[in-house]
Each structure stands twice: as structure tokens, then as C-alpha cells.
Homo-oligomer: A and B are copies of this chain.
Amino acid sequence: MGVQRAAVIDMGSNSFRLVVYGYAEEDHWQHVDEIREAVRVGEGMGDDGRLRDEPMDRAVRVAKVFSSFCRASGIDDVTAVATSSIRDAPNGPELLYRIREEAHLEARVLSEQEEARYGYIAIANTTTLRDGYGFDIGGGSVQVMRIEDRALRRAGSWPLGAVRMSERFLPDGDEASGKDLKALRKHVRSVLEREEWIKPGDPARAAGIGGTIRNLASAAEKSAGLPQTDAQGFELTREALDELIDELAELPPSKRGGVPGIKPDRGDVILGGAVVLAELMDHCGAESVETTSAGLREGVFFERFLTDRDPPLVEDVRRASVLNLARRYQDNLQHPRHVAELSLEIYDGLYSAGLTESNGEDRELLWAACLLHDIGTAVDYDDHHKHSRYLILNAGLPGFSPREVELIALIARYHRKGDPDASELGPLKRKRDDERLALLSGVIRLAEQLERSRDGSVASVSLTAPNGTVLLHPKLRGDASVAIWSARRNADLLARAIDRNVEIES
């Protein structure tokens, strides 16, 4: 399957961003390149809403850079979109004309509804939100989407973006006073109160995109001591947000970019955005917001990737993430799929025999780890179990929480060698994780060996538990000598996890 490349250029109010995607349609996709520049095209905009000369020059210069990058890299499929700052400015068309003439780039101005739709597509494809509200806090505008059963029911857009609100309500050089924040809050509330369709729901779930929310989530992750801080899958609570607002308000704008997790060039507008988010959450009754590293640009990209679907949504976000990662590093999924089948047969068999509890989440994590257990061979065969963990943690799995990603990575890591140790979860460790991890690692390790020769010679496996022993009954298809021999030598981890002898019939 040929890998194609598509570039999306997002001309936002805070920054312009070029992202290049490599993808095989309906199969897998990934970022392959990116240039981001804090253009601040709406900077210094007065009440007339006109773009100023200097920001316009910056915008044209960066557009030229992006355009020649695409030309030079041989990327023909380039989609450039402009949002609120340019859309709303009376002289926006002038900027677009200059970008067309000087940078040879045809940018499409998204309407409010289109902007909300792409935000919705990004959210629906990279978070677990099925019902609730989607937020997109940009530099210029804010979009709220009401999502029901993963469909976009309604959306609204208002000029409440982080740059605009910070410039209008917060002091340039000082800490923000309670009074400043109050005035900002009041303004946001007055706008939202006119929208009757936004109301506290049940479940009042929310998911958010855009640099503001992503930076706030990263800051909260940093402050919680989490190892990965790319915001993907993190639940930013209202409480953590309040703590961040307090911390940021006590600093002058120039210092806010020094708060770990906040990008330096976003420091001066992050507080405005944070307050807007707090108001949005309160207004929707959301205790937390699920964050994602995806954005509007991914919404645009998904139209390319999932051409046959309208709206372009993957069927199941978590499943799609796992398969995407598995396919990125492996041409053939026959072996990992079979290890997954055998693992789930053992896992379910242990439950049926009354030896373990069982739950859907663990079952899904086990499946994911099986699909991904060998991707580390893309790094090197030696220690590939450790490399699989590294790749899972670093490439990420949209739809899974940071804790779930760490668990999947650890199960994959322990598919061979070593004794699992849940303390590697660090601050994400919970009670009984040692037992969970030992069980799931024990299962995958045994299943991997039953499929050691990678030929499905053990077609399936069932188990019985007579007299304090667990007896596996492999159903053979051809010569399974490798599989049986290997499995017998690798049953001890599972045996310890369930405190039973584990034997394999031949």
C-alpha cells in the first residue's frame, strides 16, 4: 500500500502551523513533519477588528516559508485554512490576496460552522467523548460543539479566543487582579448565557482541542509529575484548572510562559484562555475536560484519510489507535493478532475456571498490548520488548488515558524477559496493579510462546483447572513442537500470578 503525503496549514489567530501527514488511506497515518510559528496575526487589533500591518507582514512571510517548504518537499496535496482572526477582519481578504500573490498559497476561510465541524471531527476521532460538549479555544474565537452519540448536533462560535480575551481584559505587564479576572468571567458568561442549548448535561462530559487547552493540560500533567506530558488522553479537572489559574494570575504575563508545560510564546495569552475554559466547563457542568494533542488540522486531515465516510470518523477510537500504531511499524499483523486471540482465550478461560476476576478494561488493554508487543523490533531485535514499550509511550494512543497507555506499554514490555513491576507506573500506579500486571503479563508471555513459530500451529487454546493445576489444551494445526516446548518454559510468570501450576498438554 503506497504511503501518501498531505500537508495542512492552519492559519490560526495565535500561530500558523504546517503539519505534514504520511498515510495509507483507511490504514494508518502519522505526523511526518511540522513547522509552527507564533505569528499572532490578530495582534494589536483594535475595535475596528482590522489586521495591523506588521502582523500581516509576518503572516505573509511565514506563508511563503510554508509554501516553499511544501514545494521543495514535493508535497502537492496542500490544504490551507484560515480561521476567526482572518475571517472576521474587514481586511482579511487583503491578507489572503497577498498570501495568494506572494506565497502562491490559496487559503480557504472556514466559516464558523466549518471550523466547529473540523474541531468536532478531531475530537470524535481522538477522544472517548460520545455524548457531551466539545471545546475549541483558539486565539481569536471559541467553538462549542454539542455532540450526541458521536454526531455533531449543534455548534456555536464566539470571539472569545485566548489572544482576544487576554488583550481586552488582562493587564499587559502585571499580575492579573481578582477584578480583572472577574470582568473577563462576566463577559464570557454574558455571551454563553444567551445560548440556551448549552446547559449542564448528564453525563456532563467534555473534550477539548486547541493550543490553549493542550498547554493547560500539559501544565497540569507536569505538576502531577506524570512522565508523558503531551496532553493526549489526559482529564484536566476543574480543580486542577483553578490551581493553574491562581498560579498564572500571580505572575506577570512575561513569566507565565515559564510555567512548566506552557509554551513560552503562549505565556502572555494563556491566562485569558484558562479563564474562558473554566467558564465553559462551569456552563456545561463538566467536572473535567478530556484533552488531546489533535487539533483542527487533524479534522481537516481526516477528510483525506477516511474518504469513504461522512462524517470522516473511525468506528472505534481506541481500536483504531491500536491498529494505527500496529500498522505503522508492521506490515503483517497475522502474528500479533493470533497472540491476541490466544491471550484472550487464556484470560477468559481463567475467569471461567473461577481463578481470576475479569473486566472489560483489562481485557482491552491485554488485546492492545498483544497487537503492539512486537513493534519494538522496528528499533532492534535485541531488547525489542523494551523498545515496544518506548514506541507505545512515545507514539501515543489517542482514546486511552495516560495510565492506560502506560499499562499497555508495560504489558507489551513484559511479553518476554524480566519480572513485571507496577512501580514503573510511577505516580499512575494504583492499588492491586502489581497483581493485574503480573496476570496480564503472564498471559501474554504464554500466548506469545504458543505462537513462537508464528504459524498458528496452536490454532486455539482452552483450559481446565483440575486439582490445583491449570491445564492448557492447545488445539493443534500442524507441527506445534516449538510452541509447546517454548510455552512450557515460559509458564512460570502466569503460574505465580494465579498461584497454580500451569501445564500444557501436547
List chain A positions with a Cβ less than 8 A from chain B. Answer: 30-34, 61, 64-65, 68-69, 71-73, 230, 293, 377-383, 387, 390-391, 394-396, 452-455, 457, 479, 481-482, 485-486
Contact B378–A395 (Cβ < 8 Å) = no
24 sample A-B contacts, Cβ–Cβ < 8 Å, listed by A number: A31-B380, A31-B381, A33-B377, A34-B381, A34-B382, A64-B481, A65-B481, A65-B482, A68-B457, A69-B453, A69-B482, A71-B455, A71-B479, A72-B455, A72-B457, A72-B479, A72-B482, A73-B453, A73-B455, A230-B382, A378-B378, A379-B379, A379-B394, A380-B394
In the docked arrangement, what's the CA distance between A482 and B30, Å? 24
The distance from the CB of A337 to the nearest CB of chain B, in whole angstroms, is 16
The distance from the CB of A232 to the nearest CB of chain B, in whole angstroms, is 10
In the docked arrangement, what's the CA distance between A379 and B230, Å? 15
The distance from the CB of A137 to the nearest CB of chain B, in whole angstroms, is 21
The distance from the CB of A504 to the nearest CB of chain B, in whole angstroms, is 15
Number of copies: 2
- Residue of B whose beta carbon sits closest to that of A32: B381
- Residue of B whose beta carbon sits closest to that of A65: B482
List, in ascending order, chain B residues with CB within 8 A of A293's CB. 382
Contact B481–A68 (Cβ < 8 Å) = yes
In the docked arrangement, what's the CA distance between A453 and B379, Å? 27
The distance from the CB of A418 to the nearest CB of chain B, in whole angstroms, is 13
- Residue of B whose beta carbon sits closest to that of A62: B485
* A391 partner, pick from B69, B379, B395, B486, beta carbons under 8 A: B379
* A453 partner, pick from B61, B68, B382, B396, beta carbons under 8 A: B68
- Residue of B whose beta carbon sits closest to that of A61: B485
List, in ascending order, chain B residues with CB within 8 A of A486's CB. 65
The distance from the CB of A458 to the nearest CB of chain B, in whole angstroms, is 11
In the docked arrangement, what's the CA distance between A151 and B339, Å? 47
Contact A33–B381 (Cβ < 8 Å) = yes
